[in-house]
Amino acid sequence: MIAPLALIGLISLPIIVAFYMLRLRRRDLPVGSTFLWQQLVRDVEANAPWQRLRFSWLLLVQLLIAAIVVGAATRPFSTAQSDLAANVVLIVDTSASMSTRTDDEDRAELARARARDVVERLPEGGRITVVAAADSATVMVSETHDTDAALEAIARIGPTQLEGDLTDAFALSSALAARDSDSTIVVVTDAAGDELPATGVGAPVLVERVGSTDANQAISALSALRRAGGAQLDLFVAVTNPSAADATRRLEIYADGALVDARELDIPAGQRSEALIGTVPAAAGTIEARLSGTDALAADDRAFAIVPAEQTTRALLVGDGSAYLENALALLPRLELYAVGEGGYADALDQADAAGTPYGLIVFDGIVPEDAPRLPALYVDPPSDGAFGSVDGREEAPAIDRPDPDEPLLRFVDLSSVHVGRARQVQLADGLRAVVTSTRGSPLVAAGDVGGSRLGLIGFDLDESDLPLQIAFPLLTSNLVDFLLPTAEGVLPSSMPLGASLAVNVDPSLERVVLSTSNGDRTTSAELPVVGGRVTLPAADAVGVRELRVADDDEDPERAGALLGSTAVNLFSSDESDIAPGDAERLVEMGRVTAGEERPAQTARAEWWWPLALAALALLAVEWLLFHRPTRRSLRRAFGRRPQPLGGRAP
Contact between residue 85 and residue 129 where contact means Cβ atoms under 8 Å apart: no
Distances (CA, A) of 299 to 487, 496, 577: 27, 16, 9
Above 60 in pLDDT, residue 219? yes
pLDDT tens for 104-162 read 899 999 999 999 999 988 887 788 999 999 988 999 999 999 999 999 999 999 999 99
Residue 202: CB partners within 8 Å, gap ≥ 6?
174, 177, 178, 183, 592
Residue 640 located in a structural domain = no
Q: What angle do CA 489, 493, 497 make, to 5 degrees?
A: 140
Above 50 in pLDDT, residue 599? no
pLDDT tens for 462-477 read 999 999 999 889 889 9
Q: How many domains does the structure of the chain reveal?
A: 5
Tell me the C-alpha distance between 303 and 220, whole Å.
Answer: 8
**Domain identity same for 46 and 138:** no
> Which CATH number do you get for residue 223?
2.60.40.10
The mean pLDDT of 506-531, rounded to a whole number, is 86
The mean pLDDT of 509-537, rounded to a whole number, is 87
* 597 confidence band (pLDDT: 50, 70, 90): very low
Whole-number mean pLDDT of the chain?
83
Q: Which of 285, 306, 327 is the last residue of a domain?
A: 306
**Domain identity same for 121 and 204:** yes
Distances (CA, A) of 465 to 307, 393, 460: 31, 18, 8
Residue 646: CB partners within 8 Å, gap ≥ 6?
none
Residue 561 located in a structural domain = yes
Residue 531 located in a structural domain = yes
* 99 confidence band (pLDDT: 50, 70, 90): very high
Residue 350: CB partners within 8 Å, gap ≥ 6?
none
Amino acid at position 465, single letter: S
Predicted local confidence at residue 293, as pLDDT: 86
Percent of the chain whose predicted confidence (pLDDT) is above 70: 82
Above 50 in pLDDT, residue 596? no
* 457 confidence band (pLDDT: 50, 70, 90): very high
**Domain identity same for 397 and 335:** yes
**Domain identity same for 438 and 566:** no
Predicted local confidence at residue 268, as pLDDT: 94
Per residue in 23-49, is it b (16+ CB within 10 Å) or e — as a string? eeeeeeeeeeeeeeeeeeeeeeeeeee
Tell me the C-alpha distance between 174 and 198, whole Å.
Answer: 13
**Domain identity same for 452 and 590:** no
Pick the range with the lowest mean pLDDT from 212-226, 522-536, 597-611. 597-611
**Domain identity same for 373 and 463:** yes
Pick the range with the lowest mean pLDDT from 20-34, 142-156, 276-290, 619-633. 20-34
**Domain identity same for 411 and 526:** no
**Domain identity same for 282 and 324:** no
Report which secondary-structure segment, H or E, holds 138: strand 137-144
Residue 629 located in a structural domain = no
pLDDT tens for 51-68 read 566 667 777 777 787 787
Predicted local confidence at residue 10, as pLDDT: 72
556 half-sphere exposure, CB direction, 13 A CA radius? 10
Above 70 in pLDDT, residue 70? yes
**Domain identity same for 337 and 415:** yes
Contact between residue 456 and residue 435 where contact means Cβ atoms under 8 Å apart: no
Report which secondary-structure segment, H or E, holds 82: strand 77-82
Residue of higher predicted confidence among 142 and 493:
142
Q: Which domain holds residue 466?
A: 313-484
